[in-house]
Structure formats: structure tokens, C-alpha cells
């Protein structure tokens, strides 16, 4: 691996860090997983204290210069190949640790059956220089194939550990824009467990035996028989926004799975899971009105607050200009409380 390909975290020890060990700093202050700590400890030159190799048990003193090599090894689950044709990903934000991309509707996030190279992860891997390498891609929350919007990728395990912890602490939050069919106003909170529909792998339903799921929705604007809705998730179950709003009688426009005449209705009528697969592969002919629109998070190591916004979806333009919508979504993220608790 080339020298310039390495991620070295440099830390100047100040008073609040003095007296603790390197191990405690990695675990308690940086939130490193046990796997990453082990990788750093046993890597040649993984821990340098004032320019010299050090052990994880070393005590830190004010003014010490600590360098941690947190570079990921080439040991991922798959070797990344270049999509053909290759379209460079649209970058919304990038620094040493983060890459935030715009995912178009219709693009799969990660390799799966029938999609081995034509994925957002493959495009990101080629952009990052991982082509024909087994480097891990840390995608922090995937989007459904038909959902558009921002996708956050951590460039190393340390950044990934931080972002997963931020998710648990609700410091990393997203707001989705959804176009829901039918009229409603104000705020609604949908608190219904979500589980699989027996007999078909792809579909989900709101059901008592499912896993806890809560979605908070705020109506922003109306166009015809569709409401532009800002949604935030407490858990992030598969198809959560789509299932929850459909359970309220407000399926998303363009939803080939849960919308009127969609795959869910076809499966319940026929009991044939093949119908779902065929309808999903055929597509709806339109765009799902769902977009991961805005996120707020902390830079994993500097602590800087980042607010990143995806491209305003074309389908949302019928509700009016972006500026007032963006302002309302920013208010939701600032409050951290989109529909009351």
C-alpha cells in the first residue's frame, strides 16, 4: 500500500488527555472498536509517541505528540471492479475521513444478486483508488434502490466507529423528503413495529410481532393529491418510511412495492412471491418519491458539525421552490424534534 494511501491520526496531548493511556484514549475518547484497537496495536508503527513506537499501555503527558495509523487493510469481502460504463459519483462532501455521495434513484448501493458491479459502492471504490482491491467500503446506512439522496461513506474504520456511535446518540441525523398520497397536515408520529411478510423476503409490514420502529413526519407542502413530507427515523428498519406511511393510508407516490396496485397487493392476492420479484425487476416506470435530503453529523476526529444537503429531487419541484423547504428541514435538524416527543 502506498504511503500516501495511509490515514495517520495526529493528536497533540492537552491537559484533559494527560495521565490516561493510549488504550483509554482510543477506547473512551475516540470510540474505537476492539477490532480497530487491535489492528492499530499490532501494526508496525501503528502507535508512535513523540516519534517512537509505543505500547497501548503508555501514559500520555501534556505536549506529547501521538500518531495512530488507522488505515484499513486490503481485507474486504469482495474485490472491487469498475462498473461499465463508469460514471464518477457525484460528491456532496469529502475530507480525509468522509465521502458523502449523491445516489440517484434506480442505483443499488451494494453488490447483490444481479448487481455485482453496477452499484454505488463500486463507483465509490473506483473513485477512492480501490479498483481490483479488497478494501472495505464503510457505508453508513444504505438506501433502497429506488430511493435517491445522500449516502455517507467512512474512509476508515475509525470514522465508521464514530459515525455508528453518533447514530446511537442521535448526533448523526437525517431528514428524508417523501411524497405521500392523500391529504394530511401538521405532524404525525407512526410508532408501529415492522416485520417481514411471511412467504416473501423482499416485503415488510407493520405488525405487532415485528421490531420496534418509529417515524416522525411533518407535512411541508401540498400539490394536488400529494403531500411533501419531512420524515425522520428512530431506528431505520428496511422500507420503514414506505411501510409506515402506507400503513397510515398514505403510500408514497411511485412506490412499486407498497403503493396502489403494487407488489404487496399482488402478493397478498396471489400468494406467489415470484410476482413480487417480477414486478420489482420491471420497475414502476416512474420515480419513487423518497429522498435522503439532509444530514447533520460530526466530523469523526475534529468534532466539526457538518450539515450536508442532497440535490433537490425533481419530483419535489411541483411543490414549489427548494428554499422554503430547505429552511423547514434545517429547522427540524436544529430542533432534533420534528414532530414532538
- Cβ atoms of 216 and 328 closer than 8 Å: no
Angstrom distance (rounded) from CA 73 to CA 231: 37
The catalytic site residues sit at 144
Q: Are 254 and 289 in contact (CB under 8 A)?
A: yes
d(CA 47, CA 247): 52
For residue 137, the SS3 value is coil
CA-based Rg of the chain, rounded to a whole angstrom?
A: 22
Check residue 89 and report its DSSP letter.
P
CB within 8 Å of 47: residues ≥ 6 apart: 22, 40, 41, 53, 54, 55, 56, 58, 66, 67, 68, 69
**Torsion angle of alpha carbons 51, 53, 57, 61, nearest 10°?**
-10
Identify the burial level of 317 via C-beta atoms within 10 angstroms of its C-beta, where 0-12 means exposed, 13-18 middle and 19 or more buried: exposed
Task: Give CA–CA dist 56/75, Å, rounded.
Answer: 24
- H/E run at residue 294: strand 290-298
Residue 301 to residue 11: CA distance in whole angstroms: 10
Cell numbers that stand for 188 in this block: 404525525
Amino acid at each position: 500500500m502506498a504511503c500516501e494511501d495511509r490515514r495517520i491520526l495526529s493528536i497533540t496531548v492537552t491537559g484533559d488527555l494527560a495521565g490516561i493511556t493510549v488504550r483509554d484514549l482510543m477506547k473512551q475518547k475516540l470510540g474505537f472498536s476492539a477490532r480497530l484497537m487491535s489492528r492499530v496495536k499490532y501494526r508496525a508503527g501503528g502507535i508512535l509517541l513523540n516519534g517512537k513506537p509505543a505500547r497501548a499501555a503508555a501514559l500520555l503527558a501534556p505536549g506529547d505528540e501521538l500518531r495512530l495509523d488507522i488505515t484499513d487493510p486490503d481485507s474486504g469481502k469482495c474485490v472491487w471492479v469498475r462498473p461499465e460504463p463508469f460514471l464518477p459519483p457525484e460528491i456532496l462532501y469529502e475530507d480525509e475521513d468522509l465521502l458523502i455521495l449523491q445516489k440517484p434513484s434506480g442505483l443499488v448501493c451494494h453488490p447483490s444478486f444481479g448487481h455485482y458491479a453496477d452499484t454505488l459502492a463500486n463507483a465509490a471504490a473506483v473513485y477512492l483508488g480501490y479498483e481490483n482491491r479488497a478494501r472495505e467500503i464503510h457505508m453508513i446506512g444504505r438506501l433502497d434502490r429506488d430511493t435517491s439522496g445522500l449516502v455517507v461513506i467512512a474512509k476508515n474504520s475509525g470514522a465508521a466507529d464514530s459515525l455508528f456511535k453518533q447514530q446511537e446518540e442521535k448526533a448523526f441525523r437525517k431528514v428524508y423528503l417523501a411524497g405521500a398520497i392523500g391529504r394530511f397536515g401538521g405532524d404525525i408520529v407512526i410508532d408501529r413495529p415492522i416485520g417481514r411478510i411471511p412467504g416473501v423476503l423482499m416485503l415488510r409490514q407493520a405488525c405487532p410481532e415485528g421490531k420496534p420502529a418509529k417515524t416522525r413526519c411533518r407535512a411541508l407542502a401540498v400539490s394536488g393529491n400529494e403531500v411533501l413530507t419531512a420524515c425522520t427515523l428512530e431506528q431505520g428498519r428496511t422500507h420503514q418510511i414506505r411501510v409506515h406511511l402506507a400503513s397510515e393510508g398514505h403510500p408514497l407516490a411511485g412506490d412499486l412495492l407498497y403503493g396502489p396496485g403494487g407488489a404487496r397487493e399482488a402478493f397478498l392476492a396471489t400468494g406467489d412471491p415470484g410476482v413480487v420479484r417480477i414486478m420489482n425487476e420491471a420497475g414502476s416506470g416512474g420515480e419513487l418519491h423518497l429522498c435522503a435530503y439532509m444530514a447533520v453529523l460530526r466530523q469523526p476526529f475534529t468534532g466539526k458539525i457538518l450539515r450536508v444537503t442532497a440535490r433537490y429531487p425533481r419530483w419535489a419541484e411541483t411543490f414549489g421552490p427548494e428554499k422554503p423547504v430547505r429552511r423547514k428541514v434545517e429547522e427540524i435538524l436544529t430542533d432534533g424534534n420534528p414532530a414532538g416527543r
